Amino acid sequence: MKKILIFVLAISMVAILAACGGEDNLTVFKTEDNNFQVSASTSWKDANGTLNTEADLQIYNPRKEKYFMALLESKEDFIDFTDFSLQAYYEIVTEPFISSVDTPNQGDVKEVTINGNKALQYTLEGVVDNINIVYLVTVIETPTHYGQLMAWTLKSKWDEYSDEYTNLTDSFKEVN
């Protein structure tokens, strides 16, 4: 009887610990046109235009200093977009972004694949409004769009959040 009681208590403790310390459920956040989405823990909220008025998708957790946005551009908006490339788009958008950051330090650019889409990804450390920030920047090509996916936080929180930002970025997909 004593062994059964210990077993039941042990199972109960495992269930309680799992409920308290388990991974957050994921919430799907979509662009206004419902063509693109990302998945993030339920602690993230829709930023409703507060991060960047031009962003197509933006979410945040301001209490934890977590931010993400996607800026998307239709391939049709580029002259002769059939000959345009991910590398060309990267070159157009990267220099102006890096130059907007004080004392920028760009990490190595690596080729990644996100849900079947080619992308170029790098980290960028720098200062914005006298605050040390680290970004995970992904320049991506989908069948219909080019885009910039940007996740950022305070430099002091980067190590804690970097895996979450990679997972968030990896969840990006076109859903039309």
**pLDDT tens by residue, 61-73:** 999 999 999 999 9
Cβ count near 133 (within 10 Å): 20
CB 157 within 8 A of CB 136: no
Taking residue 171's Cβ as centre, other Cβ atoms within 10 Å add up to 16
Query: Which residue positions in the chain have pLDDT lower than 70?
Result: 1-24, 81-82
Kindly list the structural domains of the chain, giving each domain's residue range(s) and its CATH number in brackets, ordered by start: 26-174 (3.40.1000.10)
pLDDT at 81: 60
- What is the pLDDT at residue 14? 38
Determine the pLDDT at residue 24.
58
Per-residue confidence (pLDDT) for residue 78, from 0 to 100: 83
